[in-house]
Copies of this chain bind each other. A is one copy, B any other.
């Protein structure tokens, strides 16, 4: 059984704040400052260039990749860190499209995080606009899978509503139609159990600053199925993905396995913080995290629906269909969220009317949920969001 009291004690949580935005940026692991100080003073400061070997900097992308692999149903050697999620989406998509040269459709959905769509749009333009990006509503995606689809590219958990796709069923349907599949795990990794191997996924990407708590700007990760990794051409073919980076050959030769998906110099300082965050994950079982996440979300929904009739649930009511967040529609969601933040309940607002609250069992418990409900109820019952400033702005527009 995961000891969530112990994991909560491993994070710095500001006094008087109930932090329900770990789905956007996780909090500071208490061990991170000391780990970072060691990396700065003892590694960079004392070892300088020799830190690449002596401090193991060069191996960080795969070493930490292995630690994340455990949380997403992948094996050692299947995941490597680097770049940002946008870049990793591009790399996976460009690489995958080459594996389906006769097909012209990239199928995603209108619930995907915009940067995934933007990167696809940019790639399509570079490739001469021969491909088409389709973005039906999330519920209709399955109906659009057919033999024109080269790649199905989806984010498992909708960043606004928390609605969760059926990874296994959609992957199977795409494979049956001969398409490849890329899953974006931005709101999945560390939020719920993911079974990349069991779902037979081709590519997956994700970030490490949300539920994984790696800190602002922590690097992304990429997974490539073992059946593809020795044949895929990494479209972003950088020197650290080369078979022999320090031979300085003029021509590119892919490295072995997942290492080929590396591109440039890894962000060593970001890794120092991320390593501290991953130590917390060693104490956690994803099944326990999921059970508690659903309980916290259910408790929150029940409390809010009882006390705040103006907030309309935007997330699936069935916990099995949700990620680890709860969202509500409210016309005045923006000022309402401002009012909550001013009172120490940190969630966020997403256009046009979504108030979003993330629940992260590693450091959020039932007491936090109840305290948040009380503050939200107070703000809503007493219209504390309807400030003079907001009234004025509504009059103007």
> Which residues of A are in contact with B by a Cβ distance under 8 Å?
12, 14, 17, 19, 21, 24-25, 27-28, 32-33, 36-37, 40-41, 44-46, 48-52, 57, 83-87, 90, 94, 98, 110, 113-115, 117-119, 121-122, 125-128, 135, 207, 209, 215-220, 233-240, 242, 246-252, 263-273, 341, 346, 348, 350-351
Contacts and interface: CB of A to CB of B under 8 A. Distances in A.
A324 to B, nearest CB: 16
B351 A247 contact: yes
A87 B266 CA distance: 12
Contact of A263 (B19, B84, B237): B84
B216 A269 contact: yes
B87 A263 contact: yes
A180 to B, nearest CB: 16
A215 B269 contact: yes
Given A12-B45, A25-B51, A84-B238, 15 more contacts: A17-B48, A28-B40, A36-B40, A44-B215, A44-B216, A48-B346, A86-B264, A87-B236, A117-B252, A118-B242, A121-B251, A215-B268, A217-B269, A269-B269, A269-B273
B28 A49 contact: no
B118 A239 contact: yes
Contacts of A48: 14, 17, 19, 21, 25, 27, 346
B122 A235 contact: yes
Contacts of A114: 239, 242, 248-250
